[in-house]
Structure 1
Amino acid sequence: MILAEELKKRGHTVWLGVHKHSQDIVKATGIDTVEIGGDLEHFLSITSEGIELRRNPSILKMGLVKRTFQPMIEEWFNGILSGIKDADLIVLTVASIFLGLSCIEKFPNTKAIGIYTFPVTRTAHFSPPGLGGKSDSLFNWTNLLKWKIVDFTMSNIYNDKLNELRATKDLPSMKLNYDRMTRSLFRKPMISATIYSKYFLPRPSDWHENDHMVGPIPEEGNQNFEPPTPILDFLTKWKNEKIIYVGLGSMMGTMFEADEKMEFIRKILLALDRNNCKAVISLVGFENNDISKLSTTDNILYLTHDIPHCWLFLHMSATIHHGGAGTTHASLRYGLPTLVLSFGADQPFNGDRIFINRLGPRSIPIRQTNVKNLANAIRDVMIDNYNIIFIKPVLKRLAN
C-alpha cells in the first residue's frame, strides 16, 4: 500500500491485485484494484486439507500443501493474467513470483521487478525463510542444501497445475525454478529489491548485482490521526510504567478458529498478570461477543480498531507479535525489544534474526505457547538489557 501510494504520487497509474475482501480497504486510499481470487484465509477455513494445514503449517508437508493450494493456483493465474494485460510494469511479490513470471511471458513488452518482504534468492550465507527453524546453519553447504529443498518443494506444489494452465494460453511447459525462469524471460537475473534491513540481515556477497537489499518501507505518521480517548487515558494513567504491545494481526483469523483465538488471549492475559504487566492488546477482527467474554483490569487495554504503529509504538516499551516482516521492522524502528510468536512462512526466520541480534528473546512457535513459557518470555523481554534498548531515548527525542 505504501509503495502504491508513493508510485501514484509520482504520476504513475497504479492498480493492486488483491482478494475481494481487501478491495474496499484499498480503494478507500484512492488506489485502483484488480480482484485476484484464491483467498488463502477462505480455503484454510472451508477445506479439510486447509484446516489440517492451519493446525500444522509446514511447506514440507508437500501432499497436504499441494492439495490445499491446487484450487487456488488457477484463480491466482487467471486473476494475474487479467490484471497485467494493460501494464507496462508488474511488481512481483513473494506470493506471486511463479504465477507472475508465468503470466508475463504472454506479454513480452511488459517489464517486471521483484519487491520482496524477505529474501528469495539463493545464498550460502543463510537458510531460506519459509523453511522454518533457524535462519542460518553451521556450514554454508547446509544453507545451499536447504535452498534446494525449498526449490524442489515449490516446484512440486506448483509445477503440474501451472503447466496445465500455461498450455491453455499456448505457453510451453517449463520447470519452476526462480533463477531459471527469470534468466529465461529477461536473459539475465531480474532486478529485485528485498525490503529488509541490511543491519538485521547483511546482504549476501554471493548475490547477483541485480539483487538489492534496500531496507524496509516505513509507515510514516498520519498528521490527521487522532487517537481515541481510551488509549490516551490509559497511557496517561501508566505514563511512568512500562507498557507492552500484543498484536498478532490477520494471522489470528487465518490460522485460528474462534475458540482457539480466545484460548490464546486468555493464556496471554495470565502470563501478563504473572509479571504484573501493563499491556495494550489488539483485538482487531475479533467478534464483539467474544471480546465481551474477556476479563477486564486496569492493567489491560483492548484495541478494537487499527492504530498506526508509527504513533502507538512511540508509547510502548516492548512488543509481542507474529513476526511478519512489516511489524518486525516497525518494532525495531521504534526501539522495542520484541518477542515473536510465529505461525509459519518467514516468521520463524524473523524471530530467529531478532534472537541472534539480541533484540529480543528466542521466539516461540504459536502452537507451542503455554502460560509458563509465555510468562518467562514476557519477563525476559521486559527486563533484559537488549541491544535495542539504548536507542529508545534517542527515538523519543526525535519524536518530540
Structure 2
Amino acid sequence: MRLLFTTLGSRGDVEPFLNLARTARVAGHDVRVARPDDADTDAAGLDSVSLGIDLAELSVQVSDGSALRVFRERIRPAMARALATTVDVALDWEPDVIVAHPKVLTVPAVAEKLDIPYVQVELTPTLTPTREFPAAGIAVRSLGAVGNRLTYRVVHSAGAMFASDVRSARERLGLATRGRERAPSRTLAAISPALLSPPVDWPDTTVVTGDWKGTDVAATLDDDLATFVAAQAPLAYVGFGSMTGGDAVARADAIIAGARRAGLRVMIATGWGGLTPSPAMLGDDVLVRRGVPHSAVLPRAVVAMHHGGAGTTHAVTRAGVPSVVVPFLADQPFWAAHLHRRRLAGKPLHRHRLTADNVERELRAAQAYTARVENVARAMASENGTATALATLTGLA
C-alpha cells in the first residue's frame, strides 16, 4: 500500500504519526509523511516532506504579541499554505489511503478527488461524540448525556475559521463547494484503553488502538544526561512540551525549590520555552535540556510534573510514574482531571500559581499513587497501538 500520513501541530501531534509511519514502512508499505518544519521530532529514515509551517516560531510570536493580530497576520496565512500544500503532496504521491490529523482540513477534499479512503486520527477524545464525558478541551466535568454530546459539535465547528481554504481547495480540484464532504472511513483513536476506557456508545468505525509509542532509546542520551538519570537519588522529571507564555522563570524556579524541599533532583525539559530556570537556582541536583527521550528518562523518575498533553500523559503513565499536571490549554485540563480522578496523579496545579509550597505538597502526594500507576503501566505494556492501527489501514485496501 501507498500511505500518506499528514499532521499539523507540536511534538505531541507529530511524533505519533512518525511512529505509525515507521511501523508501516517496516511492514513493507510505501510511506510518505507530510509534517510541520519544527516539532522537536526526528523523521530520520522516513520519506518526509514539509507543509511549510513552523509551529514553534508561531508559538513564540503569539506569546510575544496580540494573539488576534498574530493569528491574522501569521497563523492564518501559514495554515493556508499548509492546507494547500497537503493537496499538492497528496496529488503528487497518489496514495491508496490518507491518514490525517483533524487539523489538516483539506484531506477530505483531496481524498474525494483521488477516490480513496481517508482515516482521521483522534489523539485525544475530541472527535467521536459520547454521552459519557465532554470533548476534551471544552469542559472538564460531565454536562450530562445530552450536554456531553453537544460539546463535540463545538470542536467540529472550530474548522469554520479555515472554511475558505477548504472551499479554495475544492474549487481547485474541480469539486462541488457545497454539500457534505466525504466522511472518514475510520477514526483511529490513538488512546490507551487501559488509561481511558472506550465509551460504550462509540461506533465500530472508531477503533481504539492504544497510543502510538515510539522507540527512542537510552543510547541517544549524552554522557551528562545518562549519568544524571542513573544516579541513585530520587528524580523528578519536569517538562511542559510546546507550552509557552507567562513567567517561565518564576515557574521553573518555584518547581525547583519545591522539588528540593521534597528531596528530589530535577530533570527539566524546557521545550518551547515554558520553563526557564534562573542561573541562581541551578546546581548539581538540576539538569536542563530542551528535550529528552521519554522512554529513556521517565522510567528512572519517581514523579513527573508535566502539562498534561495526551502524548506526555501516555508516556509518563506507561513508565509507571505518577504525575503532577500543570495544564495550560486544550485537552490538558481533561487529562489532569482524569488522572487525578483515577488517583494516578496529584491535584492539578495552576500554571500561574506555582509556589515552592504547593509544588512540594503535590510532588509528595503524587508518589503515594505509584502502585496504582504501575498497575496501569502493566496493562499498557500489552498494547501495540501502531500494529492495531496498521491492521485497520490494510483492511481498507
Give the TM-score band, short-chain normalised.
0.7 to 0.9
Query: What SS class does the counterpart of residue 106 from structure 2 fall into?
Result: helix
Q: Aligned residue for 1:216? A: 211
- The 1:36/1:392 distance shift into structure 2, 3 A limit, reads closer
Measured at CA, do residues 102 and 351 of structure 1 come closer, stay the same or move farther in structure 2, by a change above 3 Å?
farther
Q: Is the 8 A contact 2:234 2:301 kept in 1?
A: yes
Change (3 A) 1:127 1:25: same
Counterpart Cα distance in 2 of 1:25 and 1:220? 11
Secondary structure of residue in 1 paired with 2:250: helix
Go from structure 1 to structure 2 and tell me whether the alpha carbon gap of 1:172 and 1:43 turns closer, same or farther (over 3 Å shift): farther
Which structure 1 residue ranges, 4+ long, deviate > 6 Å from structure 2?
63-68, 391-395
> Structure 2, unaligned stretches of length 5 or more?
1-17, 381-397
TM-score (norm 1): 0.78
Aligned mate of 1:171, from 172, 175, 178: 175
1:82 to 80, 88, 102: 88
Aligned positions of 1:190-269 closer than 5 A: 190-220=185-215, 222=217, 225=219, 227-235=221-229, 237=231, 239=232, 241-249=233-241, 251-252=242-243, 255-256=244-245, 260-269=247-256
The gaps in structure 1 that reach 5 residues or longer are 54-60, 184-188, 396-400
Q: Which residue of 1 aligns with 2:56?
A: 41
Residue equivalent to 2:100: 92
Tell me how far apart the structure 1 counterparts of residues 110 and 341 of structure 2 sit (CA, whole Å): 39
State the match for 2:281 in structure 1. Answer: 295
User: 3-state SS of the aligned residue for 1:91?
Assistant: strand
Corresponding position of 2:146: 141
Identity across matched positions, percent: 21
| Deviation of 1:364 (Å) | 2.9
Q: By how many angstroms is 1:206 displaced? A: 1.8
Identify if the C-alpha distance between structure 1 residues 77 and 343 changes in structure 2 by more than 3 Å, giving closer, same or farther.
Answer: same
Q: TM-score, normalised by structure 2?
A: 0.78
Aligned match of 1:398: none
Shift of 1:76: 1.9
Aligned residue for 2:181?
181
- How far has the Cα of 1:8 moved from its partner? 1.0
- The 1:307/1:44 distance shift into structure 2, 3 A limit, reads closer
The 1:124/1:45 distance shift into structure 2, 3 A limit, reads same
Q: 1:2: which partner in 2?
A: 19
Q: What's the offset of the Cα at 1:41? A: 3.2
Match of 1:30 in 2: 45
Distance in 2, Cα, partners of 1:283 & 1:358:
27
Q: Counterpart in 2 of 1:57? A: none
User: Helix, strand or coil: the match of 1:95?
Assistant: coil
- Aligned residue identity for 2:181: M
Deviation per residue, 1:14-68 (Å, 9 max, x gap) = 1111223359942xx11112211233333343369x8444xxxxxxx9x997887
Q: Deviations over 1:258-305 (max 9, x none)?
A: xx333321221122233232222223667xxx778353233x231426
Tell me what 1:339 maps to.
324
Pairs within 5 Å for 1:365-376: 365-376=350-361
> Aligned AA for 2:251?
F
Aligned-partner Cα distance in 1 for 2:37–2:267: 30
Residue 303 of structure 2 contacts residue 366 of structure 2 at CA under 8 Å; is this kept in 1? yes
1:21 is aligned to 2:21: no
Superposed counterparts of 1:268-279, under 5 Å: 268-279=255-266
SS, match of residue 267 in structure 2: strand
Q: Per-residue deviation at 1:151?
A: 2.8
Give the superposed CA RMSD.
3.4
How many correspondences in the alignment? 360
Report 1:310-389 matches (<5 A): 310-383=295-368, 387-389=372-374
Contact between 1:123 and 1:143, CA under 8 Å: does it hold in 2? Answer: yes
Q: 2: distance between equivalents of 1:342 and 1:357? A: 17
Measured in 2, the distance between the counterparts of 1:25 and 1:235 equals 22
Change (3 A) 1:149 1:305: closer
CA contact (8 A) 1:73 1:162 kept: no
Q: CA deviation at 1:160?
A: 3.8
**Relative CO higher for 1 or 2, CA cutoff 8 Å, sep ≥ 6?**
2
CA-CA distance at 1:192 after TM superposition: 1.7
